[in-house]
Copies of this chain bind each other. A is one copy, B any other.
Amino acid sequence: MRENDPSKEGFTVTPWEVEGEIDYQKLIEDFGTDNVDEELIDRIEEVVGDAHFMLRRGIFYSHRDMDRILDDYEEGKKFALYTGRGPSGHTHVGHLMPWIFARWIQERFDVDMYFQLTDDEKFLFNFDSTLEDTHSYALENAKDIIALGFDPDKTHIFIDTEYIHELYPLALKVGKRLNFSNVKAVFGFDNSTNVGSIFYTAIQSAPCFLPTELEGEEVPVLIPCGIDQDPHFRLTRDIAETIGYIKPALLHNKLAPSLDGTGKMSASQPKTTIFTTDEPEDVEEKINEAFTGGRISASEQREKGGDPDICSVQNYRYYIFESDDGKVDDLAERCREGDILCGECKQILKENIKGFLSEHQERRDRAEDKLEEFLVRDCE
């Protein structure tokens, strides 16, 4: 059985398919992860002085072994961060969520970050893509990562086909311990799945053990990632100790919602998704069309108020574009009270997004010259 059974639950979450309205609490039960609770958030705050808004707001809502990472850290044992991206196209702002969060973790804990760009995965899973396409998007995505301000001395970005010499022996050790039944159950593969895709999870597992190999001593790994990626690492965790490594720990974020108010942000729905390469006029247009919790008429809204809980404009603000809790709460309250209409509220979000993108795109352009500083390759 697949861990998340769409026939029973009305939604599907795998690394390659997210469909339906996700019950995040149900995923915690299905996947067997733990809630990020007040106690954990308090503890993080105690250790590093504050807690990122994505923790406070329940966006990073689930974890595996984060308490162990903190125990080790407090005893002086540093962990390494690992996350990644499947380069199937340009980066959208939903992808940035775990990266922004990882950047915060890197700074607060002063740790190394390993960033995997899986050009092989996107080639294998998308029938029409070529390795040239996915490799070229990998470089584009790398610029977004660099633009977020990761520490160049502690950040190691690699593209799978350029780093396979390093990854392959680790992937073999993982691949020997997983059989077709295991990956079939977890990913819903069948007999028509290609053999590259069947093996691929071993490649995504490999970086969990890379810091230990590179440092020559046990380095625990913490993976901030979307909850949809958990199935890979649940398999990794099942076999890690058998092959002589410590299990990776995880912090899972909820998936950024789409601007039409349904499902997650998706590169295949460009009209309801903001890309880091969007121009101001794209932002204007997309936010103008965004689904809100507003009423039929301005007068009705002034009288009865709107519903910020179902509003994608409020969601965008809540998930990414407003780090100030006070401002987020204030706008929600004003919406409920009918004190602000959708047009004005959208205008505030537009300015936030355009401000963010303008700065991001400038840093992204400068990142072009920093690629060599951040990219690690075989044969270097």
- Please list the residues of chain A having a beta carbon within 8 angstroms of any beta carbon in chain B: 120, 123-124, 127, 131, 161-162, 164-165, 168-169, 171-173, 175-184, 189-199, 201-202, 378-379
A168-B120, A172-B124 known; A195 and B178 CB under 8 Å? yes
Q: Which residues of B contact A172 (CB under 8 A)?
A: 120, 123-124, 131, 161, 196
Q: Which residues of B contact A175 (CB under 8 A)?
A: 124, 194-197, 199
Q: Which residues of B contact A168 (CB under 8 A)?
A: 120, 161, 164, 168
**Contact between chains at A199 and B195 (CB < 8 Å):** yes
What does DSSP make chain A's interface, helix, strand, loop or mixed?
A: helix
**Contact between chains at B131 and A169 (CB < 8 Å):** yes
Q: Which residues of B contact A182 (CB under 8 A)?
A: 195
Q: Which residues of B contact A194 (CB under 8 A)?
A: 175-179
Minimum Cβ distance to chain B for residue A330 (Å): 51
Partner of A196, one of B124, B161, B197, B202: B202
Q: Which residues of B contact A195 (CB under 8 A)?
A: 175, 178-180, 182-183, 198-199, 201-202
User: For A177, A195, A379, which residue has the most chain B Cβ atoms within 10 angstroms?
Assistant: A195
Cα of A165 to Cα of B379 in the assembled complex, Å: 9
Q: Which residues of B contact A178 (CB under 8 A)?
A: 194-195
**Contact between chains at A191 and B199 (CB < 8 Å):** no
Minimum Cβ distance to chain B for residue A100 (Å): 31
List the 10 shortest-distance A-B pairs measured between CB atoms, nearest first: A175-B196, A379-B379, A199-B199, A181-B191, A165-B165, A164-B168, A180-B191, A165-B378, A195-B199, A175-B195
**Contact between chains at A190 and B180 (CB < 8 Å):** yes
**Contact between chains at A181 and B176 (CB < 8 Å):** no
Partner of A180, one of B176, B177, B193, B379: B193
**Contact between chains at A164 and B165 (CB < 8 Å):** yes
**Contact between chains at B199 and A179 (CB < 8 Å):** no
Chain B residue at minimum C-beta to C-beta distance from A125: B176
Cα of A269 to Cα of B133 in the assembled complex, Å: 50
Minimum Cβ distance to chain B for residue A16 (Å): 14
Q: Which residues of B contact A169 (CB under 8 A)?
A: 131, 161
Cα of A176 to Cα of B194 in the assembled complex, Å: 5
Chain B residue at minimum C-beta to C-beta distance from A196: B175
- CB<8 Å pairs between A and B, sample of 12: A124-B172, A124-B176, A164-B165, A165-B165, A165-B378, A172-B196, A177-B194, A179-B193, A180-B191, A180-B193, A181-B191, A195-B198
Minimum Cβ distance to chain B for residue A114 (Å): 18
Q: Which residues of B contact A184 (CB under 8 A)?
A: 191
**Contact between chains at A189 and B180 (CB < 8 Å):** yes
**Contact between chains at A192 and B165 (CB < 8 Å):** no
Q: Which residues of B contact A180 (CB under 8 A)?
A: 180, 189-193, 195, 198
Q: Which residues of B contact A131 (CB under 8 A)?
A: 169, 172-173
**Contact between chains at B123 and A176 (CB < 8 Å):** yes
Known contacts A131-B172, A164-B168; can you find 14 more A-B pairs with CB under 8 A?
A123-B176, A124-B175, A127-B176, A161-B168, A161-B169, A164-B164, A165-B379, A175-B194, A176-B194, A178-B194, A179-B191, A180-B180, A181-B192, A195-B198
